[in-house]
Amino acid sequence: MAGLVTVFGGSGFVGRYVVQRLAAGGWRVRVAVRRPNEALFVRTYGAVGQVEPMLCNIREPASVADALQGADAAVNCVGILNEVGRNTFGLVQNHGARHVAEEAAKAGVGRLVHVSAIGADPDGKSAYAQTKGQGEQAILASFPEAVILRPSVIFGPEDQFFNRFASMARFAPVLPVTGGNTLFQPVYVDDVAQAAALGVTGKAAPGIYELGGPEVRRFADLMEEMLEVIGRPNRIVLNLPLFASAAMGTAFDLLQRLSLGLFTNSILTRDQVTNLALDNVVGEGMPGFAELGIAPVSMESVLPEYLWRYRPSGQFYGIRESARGTRP
């Protein structure tokens, strides 16, 4: 075995791919999550006893310290897109990151990888960007040799980006989007996991890396490409004005507060609208996949592999369309 690595948020979308990469590399993996009973599936990523979930809440320093006992390396994959209850941007993305770095330094952990996001900036316009930036600062203050990864929007079988809009397109003739002209550089989830594994093994030099795929597209264009993949090109992509989206986000946020948590705003928040007004692409001159020796995977080679279930005939869509072409 290569050693013991603790992966915070290892059962989440990005975390599970990081765990698989590390387990395949011979590491013993401790998956630190808030609900270990819901993360038992990670055990199948390695040999018997190689991957084990354990209870941890990165909001609590003592809990983080327990998760890091005996660890040779750590990866922090914890992040949120909207605030729910005590899981606020500040507590999770700023203070949580600080707890991981401080406790890792105290425990003598050799290497630390932190998954952040493009646009992370302590002086950013959104609370999401600000706390991501503050989290990076906290990481480097306690662990200056850390590897920080800033991916653009991440896609893959379990993503909440293409899957969400493809699901909507099954029933809605119109697909509303906010920030249709905003640029994105979608990155495949396993490419991010590969970068994280390089950081754990010491094959990536300390520093900040911005990770984007080979294609840069407008948000609206991404939706058009997705509609082609799922065989629903007749849907209309409607670019909503930012002021209208901001009003909607504010209303949904207010509803979540007034309902005392009975309603969770996973539709659109005011903070998300602020983010969607800004391009989400790799910054000029920033280290990225090239410096890591990784050739990023294209969207067109992956999207059909998991979006087929949203097609009119599912996995049989291609057969049906081919049969149509043979009719007299």
- 15 within 8 A of 9, measured Cβ to Cβ: yes
Residue 169 lies in a domain: no
Residue 311: name the closest of 231, 222, 228, 225 by CA: 231
- Band (pLDDT 50/70/90 cuts) for residue 261 is confident
pLDDT at 322: 54
Mean pLDDT of the chain, nearest integer: 95
Cα separation, 87 vs 240, in Å, equals 29
**In the predicted structure, residue 100 carries a pLDDT above the cut 90:** yes
pLDDT higher than 80, residue 320: no
Alpha helix (H) residue ranges in 86-213: 89, 96-107, 127-142, 162-169, 189-201
* Confidence bin at 43 (pLDDT 50/70/90): very high
Whether the per-residue pLDDT at 324 is higher than 70: the answer is no
C-alpha neighbours within 13 Å on the C-beta side of residue 212: 20
Residue 57 domain boundaries: 4-156+185-215+279-296
Q: Measure CA 10 to chain center.
A: 12
Residue 301 lies in a domain: no
Work out the pLDDT band at 273, boundaries 50, 70, 90: very high
Mean pLDDT of 109-124: 98
pLDDT on residue 315 = 64
> Of 235, 218, 215, 241, nearest to 303 (Cα)?
215
The one-letter amino acid code at 11 reads: S
Dig out the tokens for 124 from the structure.
Answer: 């950013």
Q: How far apart are CA 282 and CA 223, in angstroms?
A: 20
Name residues whose C-beta falls within 8 Å of residue 123's C-beta, 6 or more positions apart in sequence: 130, 133
Asked whether residue 45 is domain-assigned, the answer is yes
Average pLDDT over residues 64-75: 98
Type of residue at 79: G
Average pLDDT over residues 226-252: 97
CA gap 320, 185 in Å, rounded = 33
The percent helix, strand, coil of the chain (3-state, each to 5) is 45, 15, 40
CATH code, 25: 3.40.50.720
What one-letter code names the amino acid at 91? L
304: pLDDT confidence band, cut at 50, 70 and 90? Answer: very high
DSSP letters, 173-230, are SEEEEESTT-EE--EEHHHHHHHHHHHHHT-S-SEEEEE--S--EEHHHHHHHHHHHT
CA atoms within 13 A on the CB side of 76: 39
User: Does the pLDDT of residue 9 top 70, yes or no?
Assistant: yes
**Domain count along the chain:** 1
The confidence band for 316, taking pLDDT boundaries of 50, 70 and 90, is: low
Structure confidence by residue, pLDDT tens digits, 196-234: 999 999 999 999 999 999 999 999 999 999 999 999 999
Give me the amino acid identity at 303. L
Which ranges constitute the DSSP H helices of 259-285? 270-276
Burial class (CB in 10 A: 0-12, 13-18, 19+), 243: exposed
Measured CA to CA in angstroms, residue 25 lies from 28, 36, 124 at distances of 9, 23, 37
Q: Please compute, for residue 287, the number of CA atoms within 13 A of its CA located in the half-sphere on the CB side.
A: 13
Q: Is the CB of residue 182 less than 8 Å from the CB of residue 279?
A: yes
The pLDDT value given to residue 300: 96
**Distance from C-alpha of 173 to C-alpha of 175, rounded to nearest angstrom:** 7
How many CB atoms are closer than 10 A to CB 24? Answer: 11
**Which residue do the tokens 């984007």 mark?**
212
Instruction: State the pLDDT at residue 260.
Output: 86
Q: How confident is the model at residue 72 (pLDDT cuts 50, 70, 90)?
A: very high
pLDDT confidence band for 1 (50 / 70 / 90): low
Residues 147-151, mean pLDDT to the nearest whole number: 98
CB 143 within 8 A of CB 104: yes
Look at residue 85 and tell me if it is in a domain: yes
What pLDDT was estimated at residue 317? Answer: 62
Note whether residue 29 is domain-resident: yes
Residue 28 lies in a domain: yes
pLDDT of residue 318: 61
Q: Does any domain span residue 165?
A: no
Q: Mind listing the pLDDT tens digit for each residue in 151-198?
A: 999 999 999 999 999 999 999 999 999 999 999 999 999 999 999 999
The residue-averaged pLDDT of 37-62 equals: 98
CA-derived radius of gyration, the chain: 20
**What residues pair up with 151 in beta bridges, in sequence order?**
211
pLDDT confidence band for 319 (50 / 70 / 90):
low
Within 13 Å, how many C-alpha atoms sit on residue 42's CB side? Answer: 33
Write the pLDDT tens digit of every residue in 74-84: 999 999 999 99
Provide the pLDDT for residue 313: 73
